[in-house]
Amino acid sequence: MKNNKTLRVAVFGSTTMGTALSHLIASAGHTCTLLTQDATVQESINTQHCHPTYFKGAPIHPAVRASMNIADEIPKADLVVMAVPSHAMRAAAQQLGALIHPAQSVLSSTKGFEPTNTKLMTHVLREECQTEHLGTISGPNMQAYMVKGLPTTLVIASDSAQMRQHGWQAFTSPTINVNTVADLASYEYLSGLKNIVGMEVGMVQGLGLGTNFQGLVAAEGMKELDQLLTKMGLDSKPLYGVAGIADIFLVCTSEFALNYQIAVQMGQGMTLEEALAPIKARGEMAEGVESLRVGLELANQYEQPMPLLEAAHALAFSTRPVSKEEFIEAAFKRNTAGH
Amino acid sequence: MKNNKTLRVAVFGSTTMGTALSHLIASAGHTCTLLTQDATVQESINTQHCHPTYFKGAPIHPAVRASMNIADEIPKADLVVMAVPSHAMRAAAQQLGALIHPAQSVLSSTKGFEPTNTKLMTHVLREECQTEHLGTISGPNMQAYMVKGLPTTLVIASDSAQMRQHGWQAFTSPTINVNTVADLASYEYLSGLKNIVGMEVGMVQGLGLGTNFQGLVAAEGMKELDQLLTKMGLDSKPLYGVAGIADIFLVCTSEFALNYQIAVQMGQGMTLEEALAPIKARGEMAEGVESLRVGLELANQYEQPMPLLEAAHALAFSTRPVSKEEFIEAAFKRNTAGH
């Protein structure tokens, strides 16, 4: 199928992700409205074609139109892209619920879980919105690179064929490749939990355990996550593809990876509050911390031992002192047989 | 089994790897002789307990004894560890062949292939030496970190139970974990070919395609390699463990990863000769280039399309101009169905 139908897309939230995805959607030739609650953002996007705070003034496609009129814009959209922080998804979904109709597609670009429980973003959307056409975006999609027009692959996961087709149409362009998959649960849990590995690798960097050991922790952390996903009845193969390894690699190497930065700082001895303070002050998020909380909760629920995650969780939340030796033994699968 | 038997180990070659492994073996309490052809190295190790050139004078365990007397030392060893560059393995194995007896274990720490063909290091050793107890070391084992006493896991692969036991004994310590595996062929081919992925990621970094795309290339490069290994009748699962991902991660992130550095430089426009010159001047090697050559030869032989490898090979050996777009299309598995 050719990507020749112009979609009407509403992006809900002028976050870094909402702004970057709006840029991609407009660049692919679709009608894109970026919904914001901030008059300064609206003004800046519509007249200066840049975000007033994010991306250091990098140009946003001039066809992106910003609006504060959610009630008017949502009903007109074929596809609604959610781009609010995970802690704000419930309120956003409730606001959306009154406006959305069953034929519309709703795509969550937000990763992670609702605070205080283990519900995924599409769980929240499903509880609040009338449509069955729900999906998620994953893959290596750090916003700063996408706004510059640099290439990547996005993975659109949905059990709705309409949602997969809308997602594929909305983003496909010469520099953006879209993979579509039907197994929403496996991809969305992976998307929410994969930051565990990046946090673990960052912590052992902060602890000064060396790059050999960081590589080892990447491999062993993935193995732990594989076992958890499998215990949960999910497909663990996506962990080794574009939605898994590619994104874990990105988190561990990008200068823009906030989760990794705070993990390094916690490994060096900072508390979670100290590490998060400058990020919160800029109005940004580091959702990887939540992945440690939910990951351990799921590991306990499914009775899956995850010693690296347990060490990382204890270090992040200061529940007890964690030594270098604990990380070493957690990453070593000692072969005591000696053959 | 406890690691309480003292082994007599001869390490053949005072390279960075030979020196680092000697340090580990002596640290684990074994009798270790480092065989060198360089009187300055012998003198420095035996009296200063450091290598005169490598590791900026970091201390080498004082129990490591350096010797130039190969004919006397080899026959006394339970275990011989080969640590010569891949291009020197044939001559070294021939020299060893006259001295080795069938009860001795020979472990290759050298990765890669014999120049001008696709023979692995244990293929060369098997042709020249009388023992069947041959094995390899893989895993994230950058020498500079090991010499500092930083932790890691080594993977000893051998179809000989004696070799696996000797390897496990020789290195196991509080900071060194040893995994032993019997499937030598799968691990040794992986060890020789995994640098392909690091080279590909480095090249696209050099081309300025952004970290999202580097993550994508890591995932897609691994998928290409998985398909090749599978076509060759090998087990591809090790690619996703300590001998695969962990090492690929290391190659892409360590300041000491020469293969990655030259790949970045080639992506930026340097020729292979220009990129290799300073490395050769220091007497060091970048074996990843050979992995591109052998990888493409195997891909052709097994009729496995590997578009990322083909682009990387063409860029490295300047067989034709390679554009950014070629790398982009090679990493994109375009879903033209649009569902």
On chain A, the residues whose CB falls within 8 A of the CB of B139 are 216
Within this chain, do residues B178 and B53 fall inside the same structural domain, yes or no?
Answer: yes
The range of the structural domain enclosing residue B251 comes to 191-331
Indicate the residue of A141, A223, A256 with minimum beta-carbon distance to B241.
Answer: A223
Within this chain, do residues B178 and B304 fall inside the same structural domain, yes or no?
Answer: no
Q: Indicate yes or no: CB of A216 within 8 angstroms of CB of B242.
A: yes
Within this chain, do residues B29 and B154 fall inside the same structural domain, yes or no?
Answer: yes
Indicate the residue of A249, A332, A333 with minimum beta-carbon distance to B218.
Answer: A249
Within this chain, do residues B261 and B240 fall inside the same structural domain, yes or no?
Answer: yes
Identify the band that residue A116 occupies on the pLDDT scale cut at 50, 70 and 90: confident
Identify the band that residue A1 occupies on the pLDDT scale cut at 50, 70 and 90: very low
Domain stops at, among B165, B182, B199: B182
On the question of pLDDT at B164 being above 80, the answer is yes
Domain stops at, among A158, A182, A206: A182
What chain B residue is nearest to A208 in terms of C-alpha separation? B150
Within this chain, do residues A160 and A240 fall inside the same structural domain, yes or no?
Answer: no
On chain B, the residues whose CB falls within 8 A of the CB of A180 are 335, 339
Q: Indicate yes or no: CB of A252 within 8 angstroms of CB of B250.
A: no
Within this chain, do residues A242 and A126 fall inside the same structural domain, yes or no?
Answer: no
Report the residue of B4, B177, B205, B249 to disrupt the A interface, i.e. the one with the largest count of A CBs within 10 Å: B249
Domain stops at, among A121, A147, A182: A182
What chain B residue is nearest to A198 in terms of C-alpha separation? B249
Indicate the residue of A3, A152, A172 with minimum beta-carbon distance to B212.
Answer: A152
Indicate the residue of B180, B244, B255 with minimum beta-carbon distance to A335.
Answer: B180
Q: Indicate yes or no: CB of A253 within 8 angstroms of CB of B253.
A: yes
On the question of pLDDT at B1 being above 80, the answer is no
Q: What is the pLDDT of residue A334?
A: 77
Residues near B181 by beta carbon (within 8 Å), at least 6 away in sequence: B155, B156, B157, B164, B187, B238
On chain B, the residues whose CB falls within 8 A of the CB of A212 are 140-142, 145-146, 150-152, 250
Answer for the pair A212, A220: CB distance below 8 angstroms, yes or no. Answer: no
Within this chain, do residues A204 and A310 fall inside the same structural domain, yes or no?
Answer: yes
> Residue A270 maps to which CATH number?
1.10.1040.10
pLDDT digits (tens, 9 = 90+) for B38-69: 999 999 999 999 999 999 989 999 999 999 99
Within this chain, do residues B148 and B202 fall inside the same structural domain, yes or no?
Answer: no
Asked whether residue A112 is assigned to any structural domain, the reply reads yes
Within this chain, do residues B149 and B253 fall inside the same structural domain, yes or no?
Answer: no
pLDDT digits (tens, 9 = 90+) for B230-276: 999 999 999 999 999 999 999 999 988 999 999 999 999 999 999 99
Report the residue of A195, A249, A329 to disrupt the B interface, i.e. the one with the largest count of B CBs within 10 Å: A249
% of chain A surpassing 90 pLDDT: 91
On chain A, the residues whose CB falls within 8 A of the CB of B209 are 150-151
Within this chain, do residues B15 and B144 fall inside the same structural domain, yes or no?
Answer: yes
Catalytic residue among A76, A194, A280, A324: A194
Residues near B317 by beta carbon (within 8 Å), at least 6 away in sequence: B272, B292, B293
Indicate the residue of A1, A148, A177 with minimum beta-carbon distance to B337.
Answer: A1
On chain A, the residues whose CB falls within 8 A of the CB of B161 are 339
Within this chain, do residues A174 and A48 fall inside the same structural domain, yes or no?
Answer: yes
pLDDT digits (tens, 9 = 90+) for B8-22: 999 999 999 999 999
On chain A, the residues whose CB falls within 8 A of the CB of B241 are 219, 223
Q: Indicate yes or no: CB of B216 within 8 angstroms of CB of A253.
A: no
pLDDT digits (tens, 9 = 90+) for B90-104: 999 999 999 999 999
Within this chain, do residues A59 and A149 fall inside the same structural domain, yes or no?
Answer: yes
Q: Indicate yes or no: CB of B219 within 8 angstroms of CB of A240.
A: yes
Q: Indicate yes or no: CB of A1 within 8 angstroms of CB of B338.
A: yes
Q: What is the rounded average pLDDT of the residues A208-230?
A: 98
Q: Indicate yes or no: CB of B250 within 8 angstroms of CB of A215.
A: yes
Q: What is the pLDDT of residue B11?
A: 98
Report the residue of A5, A17, A211, A258 to disrupt the B interface, i.e. the one with the largest count of B CBs within 10 Å: A211
Measured CA to CA, the distance from residue A167 to residue A81 in angstroms comes to: 9
Q: What is the rounded average pLDDT of the residues A92-102?
A: 95
Q: What is the pLDDT of residue A2?
A: 47
Å from A147 to nearest chain B CA? 11
Q: Indicate yes or no: CB of B145 within 8 angstroms of CB of A331.
A: no
Q: What is the pLDDT of residue B338?
A: 57
Asked whether residue B338 is assigned to any structural domain, the reply reads no
> Residue A117 maps to which CATH number?
3.40.50.720
Q: What is the pLDDT of residue B337?
A: 62
Number of domains in chain A: 2
Indicate the residue of B168, B215, B247 with minimum beta-carbon distance to A140.
Answer: B215
On chain A, the residues whose CB falls within 8 A of the CB of B175 are 328
Q: What is the pLDDT of residue B287?
A: 81
Asked whether residue B1 is assigned to any structural domain, the reply reads no
